[in-house]
Structure 1
Amino acid sequence: MESEAPSRAANVLLLAAVALVGLNLRPFITGIGPLATDIGAETGLDLKGISLLTLVPMALMGLFAFAGPFLQSRVGARRSTLASLAVLVLGSALRLFAAKGWQMVGTAALLGLGVAVIQAVFPGIVKKQFPRHVGVVMGLYSATLMGGGALGAQAAPLVAAATGNWHVGLAWMAVPAVLALALAALYLPRDGVSVQKRTSAIAFLKRPRVWLLMVCFGLVNGGYSTVVAWLAPFYREHGWSAAASGSLLAILAVCQALAALVLPVLAKGKDDLRPWLWLTLVMQAAGFAALAFRPEAAPLASAMMLGAGLGGCFALSMIVALDHLPDPAEAGALSALMQGGGFLITALPPWIVAALHEATGSFVAGWLLHLASAIVVAVLYWRVSPTSYARAMNTPTAGAEIGPARG
């Protein structure tokens, strides 16, 4: 019993570290939308320029996620996470001094780099430390990630209004990053001497299933990147204040967090997660349709529906990727590659929607684009049956490199 108590306490503290790390991965993005008008007025960034503050970090999340297998095998997941949290502290603090457009884009790149590395290695930590509770812990991680989005959207305009300075509204995010760094340094498990066996990214990329997971993840999270970039400006065009539009975005993010936490728990024990994924896609479609056709009819309900769909789909997609392979290192590498290709896709929609707005004078075309994306993903997920996991991840040319999946 004495040995169980310290183990239980250590797991609780490790879960706290997981939650606090997740909390820091989105505020720097969601805080931009409510302050977009103020940022553009001082820095000279137009809508396309503002979209870069989402596009650039999302693109880096994609590019550097491909380094996940290398980082896990050569650097170690713990060391990679700690270095990346230090980068988040620096990037947030530098926003206090960023007065020009290129400086803001530079801080976005720095922050995106830090988040990219964490997202690439963290699922592997979860799979290794909580092998019997992957779904629940990934739900916690996803929920706090989305909750961090709510925190950024709500707090950024409030802090900016209280201080009279939008720079402070963004730079305060260095504080929770410092706390996450301290907790992670204390409680994340140390990397072994021989860290994790190397997994060939090239071998993974020969599998059509990996590309399918990338496309689905990218299209869904493209909806997220567009929403965090343009939902607040969309309602500001309808006469809402910065605080009110930020509150709507925060409510959406809270619903994302709740769905990311609750849906994996409800789906626990289910081998086939596709019905749950389809439920989240229906919610997304309903939310985007409401924004396109009746934005003022029930904005709160639309935001809640859209948030629940996006958050639940994110968490379930991560679990599906990890379920494809039993080995933590290999499952983490697959998750990293899914995020890599996915975030490269995710980076583009905010800029595309900005261009559509410039051409049409409205965000409606952008919302319809994401309505169509939800339908496409629903069709693609038909192929992701749990009975296909082992077959999809084993081929004659690479079967020796990648172990058998759980059937």
Structure 2
Amino acid sequence: MSTHAAGDDPFLGRPLIAGLAVVALLLTAANLRGGIVVVGPLVEQIRSSLAISASAFSLLTTLPLLCFGVISLCVPALSRRWSPQVLAIAGLLVIGLGVLLRLVNDYAVVLLGTLLLGAAIALLNVLIPGLVKAFFPRKVGLMTGLYSVTLSVGAGMGVYLAVPLLERFGHWHYPVALWAVLPLLCTLFWLPMLRVEGVGRPANPVRVSLWRDKLAWAITCYMGLQSFYFYSMATWMPKMLLESGLDAHDAGTATALINLVSIPFNFLVPIMAARLASQRRLVLGIFLASFTGLIGLWWQPAMAPLLWASLVGVGCGGALSLALSLFVLRAANTAQATALSAMAQSIGYLLAASGPVVLGMMRDVEGAWQGALLLMMALQCLQLGCGWYAARPAKVVPDQQK
């Protein structure tokens, strides 16, 4: 629920600039995953072109997650020096540069481009919740929902368009290059935002630290556990289903439902969250969907794979969009929202990078997936507890106010 007065709306009575702000935010969201996930369907072509091993190729998808974890912590300091609009433009330009470097047929240069890409996306990941609160203080639920949906759609486009563009133009450079051009176009919509008053760098910027706040830690743990859950399941569910007896087509179809089913929940959960003083009913519903899906995969994965995958998708999409909503709803101002987003996403994506590794190691040791799935169920219970605490109607309190 918003506590902002109408006068806090920087676009009051200015529908054109408000519309441009919506487009700028949503186009930015669409650019935050495509440049990373596009390499997945092109693995064989890229490995052949760069003459690299499978483990070397895996760095092209894991390095950005590590960048998310490390660079997120630097964003509040950057936002005290430059306005969020300037940082957003800089982030988009660096995304374009990073993707362009990934087109060079030299593995070291490709890794450099991957690091730049991950750093720029981390910057924008943290900035956007604060920008939503600053630009649309009375519509945080709607805008967070639209942002979450566009994030998922952008990731889907990156995967969906990769092979058709490869087949159309005959080289993997073309589908990758698309994600160097789109960020540059997006910057055009950000240029008018530089003139928006009341959203720039504060005149007397104060460092906001939330590391001693229990509510901030609850939100951080909720974000981290949902990230661990999503990346673990997205990585290993196809293998789980294949080993249960499904063929590759059915396993792939079921796994695709994780992202597809999550889209409506990406949109609806933030809207509902913004209308509720306490979001505990949402936390409980998300938990029940995830836990039921995990029980199904543990018990009889081949009996109803589409149902189990759909329930996992509900849990993944709902938990992510709720976490993004809490960054805004539990903060009193833009600086706090940015600090909370940085804290939660730094730890969240470091956990996310470890998830597939942990589950893979458990599978290798046990020779089956039951132990790994039991771990996921236990972590879902822990996520429920963190979400239950984070969903109570309260605001984070910076360390200097304690």
Give the TM bin, normalised by the shorter chain.
Answer: 0.7 to 0.9
State the alpha-carbon separation in 1 of the partners of residues 19 and 259 from structure 2. Answer: 25
Offset at residue 276 of structure 1 (A):
0.6
* Counterpart residue identity of residue 349, structure 1: G
Distance in 2, matches of 1:330 and 1:32, equals: 35
Q: Per the alignment, do residues 5 and 75 of structure 1 end up closer, same or farther by CA in structure 2, a change over 3 Å counting?
A: closer
After superposition, the Cα gap between the structure-2 partners of 1:222 and 1:34, relative to the gap in structure 1 and judged at 3 Å, is: farther
TM-aligned CA deviation for residue 361 of structure 1: 5.7
Alpha-carbon shift at residue 232 of structure 1 (Å): 5.5
Match of 1:91 in 2: 98
Contact 2:241 2:305 in 1 (8 A): no
Find 2:158's aligned residue among 152, 158, 175: 152
Alignment match, 2:355: 349
1:14 and 2:18 correspond: no
Residue in 2 that maps onto 1:110 = 116
Contact 1:147-1:256 within 8 A present in 2 as well? no
Task: Give TM-score scaled by structure 2 length.
Answer: 0.83
Alignment of 1:327-406 (within 5 A): 327-359=333-365, 366-387=372-393, 389-390=394-395, 393=397, 398-399=400-401
| Distance change in 2, residues 1:357/1:379 (3 Å) | same
Q: For the Cα contact (< 8 Å) 1:221–1:346, is it kept in 2?
A: yes
- Structure 1 counterpart of 2:32: 25
Residue in 1 aligned with 2:135?
Answer: 129
Q: Identify the residue that residue 86 of structure 2 maps to in structure 1.
A: 79
The question of 1:53 aligning with 2:54 is answered: no
RMSD, aligned α-carbons? 3.2
CA shift in 2, pair 1:289/1:172, >3 Å: farther
For structure 2, the residue ranges without an aligned partner over 5 or more in a row are 1-10
Task: Give the direction of change, closer, same or farther, for the CA distance of 1:137–1:233 in structure 2 (3 Å limit).
Answer: same
How far apart are residue 75 of structure 1 and its match? 1.8
Query: Residue type of the partner of 1:301?
Result: L
% identical aligned pairs: 25
Change (3 A) 1:119 1:215: same
- Aligned 8 A contact 2:140 2:274 in 1: no
Asked whether 1:240 is paired with 2:240, we answer no
| 1:272 counterpart = 2:260 | no
Change (3 A) 1:23 1:250: farther
CA deviation after TM superposition for structure 1 residue 273, in Å: 0.9
User: Given the alignment, which residue of 308, 313, 329 partners 1:323?
Assistant: 329
2:278 partner letter: D
Please give the alpha-carbon distance, in whole angstroms, between the structure 2 residues aligned to 1:39 and 1:290.
36
Contact 1:62–1:339 (CA<8 Å) still a contact in 2? Answer: yes
Distance in 2 between the 1:325 and 1:193 partners? Answer: 16
Measured after TM superposition, the shift of residue 266 of structure 1 is: 3.2
One-letter amino acid of the structure 2 residue matched with residue 22 of structure 1: A
- State the shift of 1:378 in Å: 0.6
Return the offset for 1:22: 0.6
Counterpart contact for 1:19–1:144, Cα < 8 Å: yes
Match of 2:116, as an amino acid?
L
Please say if residues 53 and 108 of structure 1, whose CA atoms lie closer than 8 Å, have aligned partners that are also in contact.
yes
Judging changes above 3 Å, is the alpha-carbon distance between structure 1 residues 364 and 250 closer, same or farther for their aligned structure 2 residues? same
Structure 1 residue 85, shift from structure 2 partner: 0.7
Map 1:178-217 → 2, pairs under 5 A: 178-187=184-193, 190=196, 195-196=201-202, 197-201=204-208, 203-217=209-223
Instruction: Name the CA distance, whole Å, in 2 between partners of 1:8 and 1:245.
Output: 46
Gaps of 5+ in 1: 401-407
User: Is the CA contact 1:17–1:184 (under 8 Å) kept in the aligned structure 2?
Assistant: yes
Q: 1:68 aligns with which of 46, 54, 75?
A: 75
What residue in structure 1 maps to residue 6 of structure 2? none
Equivalent position of 2:318 in the other structure: 312
Quick one: distance in 2 between partners of 1:359 and 1:37?
28
SS at match of 1:200: coil
Assess if the C-alpha contact under 8 Å between 2:258 and 2:316 holds in 1.
no
**Alignment-mate amino acid for residue 88 of structure 1:** I
| 2:103 aligned counterpart, secondary structure | coil
**Equivalent of 1:281, from 270, 281, 287?**
287
Say if 2:255 is the partner of 1:253.
no
In structure 1, C-alpha distance between the alignment counterparts of 2:298 and 2:33, rounded to whole Å: 25
SS at match of 2:137: coil
Asked whether the 8 Å contact 1:36–1:233 carries over to 2, the reply is no
1:320-374 deviation digits (Å, cap 9, x = unpaired): 2322222222222222222122222222112323434544566665454433322
Query: More displaced, 323-332 or 310-319?
Result: 323-332
Deviation larger for 309-318 or 29-38: 29-38
User: Which amino acid in structure 1 is aligned with residue 270 of structure 2?
Assistant: P
Q: Per-residue deviation at 1:174?
A: 2.1
CA gap 1:33/1:354 in 2 versus in 1, 3 angstroms: farther
